Amino acid sequence: MTFTTTKLLCWVLIRVVATKEGLDLLDKAVHRMPVHYKQHIDGCLSDTIGEHGLSEVELAPMVDAAEKATSDLGNGVIQGAAEILALPTQRDDLAHLDAIAEEMRSRFETLIVLGTGGSSLGGRAITALRPDNAMKLQFVDNLDPATMSGLLDGTDFSRTGFLVVSKSGATSETMAQYLVSFAATQATLGGDASSHFVVITDPFDSPLRHLASVRGHTILDHDPGVGGRFSVLSNVGMLPAAIGGLNTNEVRSGAADVLEQALGSSAAETCPSALGAAICLGLARHRDARMSVLMPYADTLEPFAAWYCQLWAESLGKGGKGTTPVRALGPVDQHSQLQLYLDGPKDKIFTIVETAISGEGHEISDFEEAPASIEYLLGNSIGDLVAAQQLATRNTLIEHKCPTRFFSVPRIEESSMGALFMHFMLETMIAARMLGVDAFNQPAVEDGKARMRTYLENR
Amino acid sequence: MTFTTTKLLCWVLIRVVATKEGLDLLDKAVHRMPVHYKQHIDGCLSDTIGEHGLSEVELAPMVDAAEKATSDLGNGVIQGAAEILALPTQRDDLAHLDAIAEEMRSRFETLIVLGTGGSSLGGRAITALRPDNAMKLQFVDNLDPATMSGLLDGTDFSRTGFLVVSKSGATSETMAQYLVSFAATQATLGGDASSHFVVITDPFDSPLRHLASVRGHTILDHDPGVGGRFSVLSNVGMLPAAIGGLNTNEVRSGAADVLEQALGSSAAETCPSALGAAICLGLARHRDARMSVLMPYADTLEPFAAWYCQLWAESLGKGGKGTTPVRALGPVDQHSQLQLYLDGPKDKIFTIVETAISGEGHEISDFEEAPASIEYLLGNSIGDLVAAQQLATRNTLIEHKCPTRFFSVPRIEESSMGALFMHFMLETMIAARMLGVDAFNQPAVEDGKARMRTYLENR
């Protein structure tokens, strides 16, 4: 038992003495590092929400298991984790990525990123932060004939670059996207087309690698030890980030802070990811929480929620295990999903991501013809409204006894995004270890791929 | 019992004799109407997927109940349904909507639609079909200070119109969006600002109605008997559709075909919606299918899946009842969620929406340096690939014994979209009746709204 009785007592005491003060104390104890975010789990515990929450007796062994899994992560016992955990402290590759980004920005108006699933979601999530004046980025992650035709018909190829991302170098959607995009570019630009393409792929023989080499595209190695859904901190996420004018060093620093704190002691007090995994799996085991709803209150975090869904689903959904991630977005999904969340079956855990958004954006001014019934809006900024809404939703969920944790993110910026990426990657890896599944493979989808290929070959 | 033994026997016989021929026969019997779509439920039955599917003994009483509910819909027993079911055959309002649309297209380059939840999702879903040369439409359904600022900073107000949709005329997000948008427009255009706004709201006193009246905006009545999530066939969906250059008459005709067939006999053979509701609730009751995954294989149907999620969640999620809708998109989510779907817990029903997409889009040409490993792609169009993928995914799900139904939609166009809207609205109303919940209210969210208002007033 790494989670000793003393530690459990201490942790429970801090929380129980007085809820708010207890949490503040715990926060102070936990956050010696720069505070990129805080996780609050009180709304998942039976002390707060009664029978739908976890009791300390139920939580303690889950925390033990999570601490053991975290310790295994730090000790290199978990096959496939080391390469991912090496990324946050890596710096020597960033200058090269910045140089490529600088060149692309100078040559092109638009960058089209071709890639599907893990080759796209991380890049999408981090580049949602890019400033308005950044280079135009377009991620094409689905395969749809009308979308591809619309894209290529509307492209000024002379001012457009392509970034093609496929770890295996054989993903059929990405190969199809690439083949028609290159053919269209070449039809317009001839021999110059090749220099418009940058490729990220494994350093092994593959159709994409072969073609990129024959055609003379710039090639970057995909880290062969890092699977797509864990690749956001590698060049797969950092090159789009750099092209979008973001500080990639800060992204990795934020992730490194979280990682260092987590693995420094492997204890739940200093590893919010371990506590998060313990809560999620504890609620799944003891309270039938089949779904994990991630609901951020910021448009810039919408792609982050999609990234999380792949990470959690594909890493854990094996051998009948796993829970289903559901992405939501506040406040809009208050008008779409909240009725079900509050009053439907109690089969979910909710993770609300709140930001310090008060005072941001346009102010709703008072004006002459204002009816009394909207007085409550006047003098507030759009950010004030959103701040009130995220607080109201969190508290309403808790009031309805729905297991709810929330993250406070003071500021959505490169370092806090890096921290959030790392939090959820750690949480997922810890959860996989606790469930006894391999976080890094996806065996079931291979069956569908083989079937698709057979259908095409037998047309 | 409306579902007699003879009918059950007949239905089972048709299906059992020989699966494919049986289904074709059934299809022929069922579809005297124009065939906008076909629903195939075989992959949800124990004959096909064994113990994870429904047996005939389990399904029959669910079908009975669904037929009874359908009959109640037709007989006007269900409070709140009549106004919704009157929409498909309504025509007298369309010329007026077309005239407003024509005027907006002539005056503006861009239309910004302000509204959240049901005021936005239907319009988004239908206008996803608009041709490339249609007027630019931008739906602002979330509230985010950065997004609103970016929007207003980048707007040429002289060439921009606004459509403001709020049934109650008091929704705080929409009121906030409207107030800052009008203030910004007025700051630029002065007295001309008023004519840039069209408002759809209930014909009762409300802050939005009051302001629209005082300021002289064009006002259209929101049908007071039709709630937001059922409003797509009303002016809430049809005005954006008309502005996007779509044939609203065709949308309603497609819906009318489905409705007429469904209510003509109230029998499951002629009401795919009743059969769908029976399958969904049967799997929820007997096989713990907590989630209903809608996965279309077309980018244009992505907003449709979001529309479905609100419809199903908010209509059924009451008193501990309901199941959770999950939206997915093919093929991209094959690389994100499919591993979990195939090999995770068996707690879902999958609805795949397939389109006749073969041959569409760019062809992947053969070329000199093509490696042998991509030969299977060459000579195929992007549409051929997607066709193979939707077929592969459906069959892989069934092979993995996941309850799976699929819709074949020959062509995504106005009439088939109308048909799909009607199918799922009927399915939802039938399911609500079977569960004994009111499909048309959303009592739990009022609590959160009151809390938010209190927070703002006490700032």
Per-residue pLDDT in tens (0 to 9) along chain A, 459 residues: 333 444 444 444 334 333 444 345 444 444 445 789 999 999 999 999 999 999 999 999 999 999 999 999 999 999 999 999 999 999 999 999 999 999 999 999 999 999 999 999 999 999 999 999 999 999 999 999 999 999 999 899 999 999 999 999 999 999 999 999 999 999 999 999 999 999 999 999 999 999 999 999 999 999 999 999 999 999 999 999 999 999 999 999 999 999 999 998 878 888 999 999 999 999 999 999 999 999 999 999 999 999 999 999 999 999 999 999 999 999 999 999 999 999 999 999 999 999 999 999 999 999 999 999 999 999 999 999 999 999 999 999 999 999 999 999 999 999 999 999 999 999 999 999 999 999 999 999 988 899 999 999 887
Q: What is the pLDDT of residue A325?
A: 98
Residues near B256 by Cβ (< 8 Å), separated by ≥ 6?
A: B88, B89, B418, B422
What angle do helix axes B94-107 and B248-265 make, rounded to 10 degrees?
Answer: 150
How many angstroms separate the CA atoms of B68 and B256, rounded? 21
State the smallest CA–CA distance between residue B383 and chain A in angstroms. 5
Q: What is the pLDDT of residue A16?
A: 36
Q: What is the pLDDT of residue A166?
A: 98
How many angstroms separate the CA atoms of B103 and B108, rounded? 9
**Chain A positions in Cβ-Cβ contact with residue B455 (cut-off 8 Å):** 388, 391-392
Residues of chain A with CATH 3.40.50.10490: 5-76+251-443, 85-247
Q: What are the distances in angstroms from CA B162 to CA B110, B124, B181, B182?
A: 9, 15, 9, 9
Residues near B272 by Cβ (< 8 Å), separated by ≥ 6?
A: B30, B39, B258, B262, B423
**Chain B positions in Cβ-Cβ contact with residue A388 (cut-off 8 Å):** 452-453, 455-456, 459
Q: Is the CB of A314 less than 8 angstroms away from the CB of B340?
A: yes
Bridge-based pairing of strands B197-201 and B136-140 is: unpaired
* From A20, A51, A335, A457, the catalytic residue: A335
Tokens coding A209 = 């690698």
Q: Is the CB of A388 less than 8 angstroms away from the CB of B452?
A: yes
Nearest CA in chain A to B457: A376
Tokens coding B259 = 């409705």
Q: Do A84 and A91 touch, CB atoms closer than 8 A?
A: no
**Chain A positions in Cβ-Cβ contact with residue B184 (cut-off 8 Å):** 362
- Give yes or no: A335 in active site: yes
Q: What is the pLDDT of residue B8?
A: 43
Q: Do A118 and A168 touch, CB atoms closer than 8 A?
A: no
Q: Helix, strand, coil % (nearest 5) of chain B?
A: 60, 10, 30
Tokens coding A450 = 């083989």
Superfamily of domain A5-76+251-443: Glucose-6-phosphate isomerase like protein; domain 1 (3.40.50.10490)
Q: What is the pLDDT of residue A33?
A: 58
Q: Do B222 and B231 touch, CB atoms closer than 8 A?
A: yes
| Substitution target from B143, B288, B309 for chain A, most A beta carbons within 10 A | B143
Classify the C-alpha dihedral B249-B255-B258-B261 as positive or negative: negative
**Chain B positions in Cβ-Cβ contact with residue A186 (cut-off 8 Å):** none
List residues of B with catalytic annotation: 314, 335, 449
Burial state string for B331-368 with b = 16 or more CB within 10 A and e = fewer than 16: bbbbbbbbbbbbbbbbbbbbbbbbbebeebbbbbeeee
How many angstroms separate the CA atoms of B455 and B459, rounded? 6
Q: What are the distances in angstroms from CA B440 to CA A448, B226, B433, B443?
A: 39, 9, 11, 10
Of B359, B360, B353, B356, which Cα lies nearest the Cα of B333?
B353
Q: Is the CB of A142 less than 8 angstroms away from the CB of B331?
A: yes
Q: How many A×B Cβ pairs under 8 Å?
A: 369
Nearest CA in chain B to A379: B456
User: Which segments of chain B have a pLDDT < 50?
Assistant: 1-23, 25-32
Tokens coding A398 = 């808790």
Q: Is the CB of A459 less than 8 angstroms away from the CB of B384?
A: yes
Q: For B445, which of A299, A339, A357 is closest by C-beta distance?
A: A339
Q: What is the dihedral of CA B340, A239, A351, A58, to 10 degrees?
A: 60
How many angstroms separate the CA atoms of B319 and A163, rounded? 49
Of B347, B88, B73, which Cα lies nearest the Cα of A345?
B347
Q: Is the CB of B332 less than 8 angstroms away from the CB of A451?
A: no
Phi, psi of B91 (to 5 degrees): -135, -25
Q: Is the CB of A179 less than 8 angstroms away from the CB of B377?
A: yes
Superfamily of domain A85-247: Glucose-6-phosphate isomerase like protein; domain 1 (3.40.50.10490)
Dump the DSSP string for B321-377: ---EEEE--TTGGGGTTHHHHHHS-S-EEEEEEEE--TT-S-B----TT--GGGGGG
DSSP code of residue B244: T
How many angstroms separate the CA atoms of A190 and A183, rounded? 9
- Give yes or no: A314 in active site: yes
How many angstroms separate the CA atoms of B258 and B147, rounded? 39
Please tell us whether the domain made up of B90-247 is placed in CATH 3.40.50.10490.
yes
Q: Which residue has the tokens 């507030």?
A: A380
Residues of chain B with CATH 3.40.50.10490: 5-76+251-443, 90-247
Q: What is the pLDDT of residues B81-140, one digit of tens each?
A: 999 999 999 999 999 999 999 999 999 999 999 999 999 999 999 999 999 999 999 999
Q: Do A318 and B344 touch, CB atoms closer than 8 A?
A: yes
Burial state string for B89-108 with b = 16 or more CB within 10 A and e = fewer than 16: eeeebbeebbebbeebbeeb
Q: In residues, how long is chain A? A: 459
Q: Mark residue B29 as left, alpha or beta (left: phi above 0; alpha: psi -120 to 50; beta: remaining).
A: alpha
Q: What is the pLDDT of residues A278-293, one digit of tens each?
A: 999 999 999 999 999 9
Q: Is the CB of A313 less than 8 angstroms away from the CB of B337?
A: yes
Q: Mark residue B386 as left, alpha or beta (left: phi above 0; alpha: psi -120 to 50; beta: remaining).
A: alpha
How many angstroms separate the CA atoms of A143 and A130, rounded? 25
Q: Which residue has the tokens 């009959």?
A: B71
